[in-house]
Chain A
Amino acid sequence: MSKLTPVLSANWDEADSFTIAGYKRNGGYTALTKALAMAPDEVIQLVKDSGLRGRGGAGFPTGSKWGFIPQGDNKEHYFVVNADESEPGTCKDTPMMMANPHVLIEGVIIGSYAIRANYAFIYIRGEVTHVVRRVQQAIEDAYAAGLLGKNILGKGFDLELVLHVGAGAYICGEETALLDSLEGFRGQPRLRPPFPAIAGLYAKPTVVNNVESVASVPAIVNKGVAWFTAMGTEKSKGFTLYSLSGHVNNPGQFEAPLGITLRELLEISGGVRSGHKLKFWTPGGSSTPIFTDEHLDVPLDYESVAAAGSMLGTKALQIFDETTCVVRAVLRWTEFYKHESCGKCTPCREGTWWLVQVLKDLEAGRGSEADLDKLLDLCDNIMGRSFCALADGAASPIISSLKYFRQEYLDHLTAGECPFDPMAATLFSSAGVK
């Protein structure tokens, strides 16, 4: 029997799943009615009790975040959705907003009601025009249906929801950079404390939640804490979206309880691409240390992945088979971090630049073994020395690849060039592979 548990994705196979009619036909916006009949603090408590943790990478408990907002402070509160999905490998929020933007909007209204915010924003990345259309249309339809605006469902709660479209900056997925960007500045991270719950948007108490976290709330309100906590592991409750990509026969989105393994997901989906074997993979995007075929049975929950030396991150499972040069893969990720470094902190701005220089030489078979230590030394000098975690993310693939594939770096030096044929890794190389 399949271990999969489609909840968010349950109705994506209906052609009108993204419309308000399609959503309502499947019980959409009934959780909102329930939530508005509860006291706001009860809603916060419910989400706390569910154990829902942030699905954007960090895994911080969503209910606690909501509970940090000071109440009775006579200040405006803001609810902000981080829809700036840009972590390499991560591709879950974007198809969700394309297939069902209304579940996100319902979650936004419930969350805003709980933290007593009357203004909410969805900050979506700018490079997904059709998803922008879908979310914008959904917001307009929700206003027309009396689900947004003044006196929602006649319950006396007011909420304005604005879709804010980014313009191509990975760093704006970092919550304080996102807030600076939303205020109309260059998107650069802020020093914390103060945290956004105290001084967020316009220096007012603000919740910033990932799309999937917010979209998970309506189901929890409707089906209850016991239903949610029956799925997952002791400290990682519930269901989540795992995104499988790369050298597999059938890539895609798989909704399962936290704690499923890559081996199980590969069995369900159809395995690593035929005729090849798994070499390395990321459990949660490029910022999470890579795993190898030793880690096929690591339960994909927050604790187990951390115990195995990586992070669950965004559950973006990027699979690479034996045709892939790990040095090339790491170089390309490092170029990404260099390009996306916002430039605010010197260790990150300068360090990622130097990492690229050293890795470029190594990939071309130039340099010496001492350069591997130089890489680790550079990583040591940028990790934990910047305002945000971008530089830590840049170090992850380098340190982990040197841990598992040091010999492959040395093979480049011995050969004086990259020993891999890049054509063999492409999808064009093998007939019969999708």
Chain B
Amino acid sequence: MAFTSEQIKVMDSIITRYPRKRSAIMPLLHYVQSIDGYVTNEGIELIGKKLELATAEVTAVSTFYTQYKSKPVGQYHVGICTNTLCAVMGGDMIFDAVKEHLGIENDGVTNDGKVSVEHIECNAACDYAPVVMVNWEFYDNQTVQSVKDLVDGARNGNPPAPTRGPKTLRSWKENSAVLAGISDGLANEGVQAGEPTLLGLKKAKGGA
């Protein structure tokens, strides 16, 4: 898809954040995903032009990082942690059950384009295991049933809210814009911390 002049202006503003423009390649790739849903050839060509790089140099970067997708993912991209701790505590079972429930494999997308599934590595929330991410928002302390409900809700256009995140789950494209450094004004929504984060403080204050 062709990029609008407004979008190109945003890309120019991203480039000006950095002392050297090549540093803008990662936010620009996130930004392309916010428009096209994945890293398209058109996006790579435009980034190359903006940063005075060959398309091969841009592709070399985009293919190194797992968050940059070479084909479309679902409107709700579900990442299930199967690194050791989450896997042992239930992540493996959740991953298998959700694939079966949706009838797709790892990196697959449902036919309606709503949900895709990927097994992910440790997402820095081990005290909330088993952890599931949707569009890189936290869904803590998950079970097989809760994740089935989550993906069913997502397919019906009504996903539950993240455990620690905004009041409503935003789409893959909308969250990709946040990762490109474009504010959506939702930083103040959601809790400041979940219970495990606060447990040490509570114990220090003499709480049970």
Residues in A lying within 8 Å of B, measured CB to CB: 2, 4-6, 9-10, 12-19, 76, 85-91, 93-95, 98-99, 119, 125-130, 132-134, 136-138, 140, 162-170, 181-187, 202, 242-247, 250-256, 268-269, 286, 316, 318, 320, 324, 328-329, 332-333, 336, 339-340, 342, 422-423, 425-428, 434
Contacts and interface: CB of A to CB of B under 8 A. Distances in A.
Nearest to B203: A268
Interface in B2-36: 17-20, 22-27, 29-30
B110 interface: no
Contacts of B74: none
Closest 4 CB pairs of A and B: A252-B199, A167-B65, A137-B187, A254-B200
A428 B141 CA distance: 11
Nearest to B79: A127
A2 B164 contact: no
A186 B66 CA distance: 12
Nearest to A286: B84
A127 B200 contact: no
Given A133-B183, A318-B84, 4 more contacts: A95-B194, A182-B23, A183-B20, A253-B198
B65 A12 contact: no
Contacts of B123: 127-128
Contact of B179 (A4, A88, A129): A129
Nearest to B134: A129
A13 B198 contact: yes
A165 B177 CA distance: 11
B150 interface: no
Given A137-B183, A332-B83, A165 B30 contact: yes
10 contacts: A12-B197, A13-B202, A128-B136, A129-B165, A140-B183, A167-B29, A243-B126, A255-B201, A332-B87, A336-B84
Interface in B168-187: 175, 178-181, 183-184, 186-187
B143 A165 contact: no
A254 B61 contact: no
Residue of A12, A125, A251, A318 with highest tally of chain B CB at under 10 A: A251
Contacts of B193: 12-13, 17, 95, 98-99
A284 to B, nearest CB: 13
Contacts of B206: 2
B67 interface: yes
- Using C-beta atoms within 8 Å of the partner chain, give the interface range for chain B: 35 or more
A33 to B, nearest CB: 25
Contacts of A14: 192
A184 B24 CA distance: 7
Nearest to B23: A184
B127 A320 contact: no
B113 interface: no
Given A12-B198, A128-B136, A88 B188 contact: no
B64 A169 contact: yes
B127 A427 contact: no
Contact of A95 (B83, B135, B197): B197
B149 interface: no
Nearest to A1: B206
Contact of B200 (A15, A76, A165, A255): A255
A86 B124 contact: yes
Contacts of B143: 427-428
A256 B200 CA distance: 9
Contacts of B178: 129, 132-133, 136
Given A185-B61, A324-B88, A428-B90, A137 B20 contact: no
B93 interface: yes
B180 to A, nearest CB: 7
Contact of A130 (B93, B164, B180): B164
Contacts of A5: 204
A133 B24 CA distance: 18
B97 to A, nearest CB: 11
Nearest to A133: B187
Contacts of B202: 13
A10 B201 contact: yes
B43 interface: no
Given A86-B124, A428-B143, A250 B192 contact: no
A98 B126 CA distance: 15
A247 to B, nearest CB: 8
Nearest to A316: B126
Contact of A252 (B19, B130, B187, B196): B196
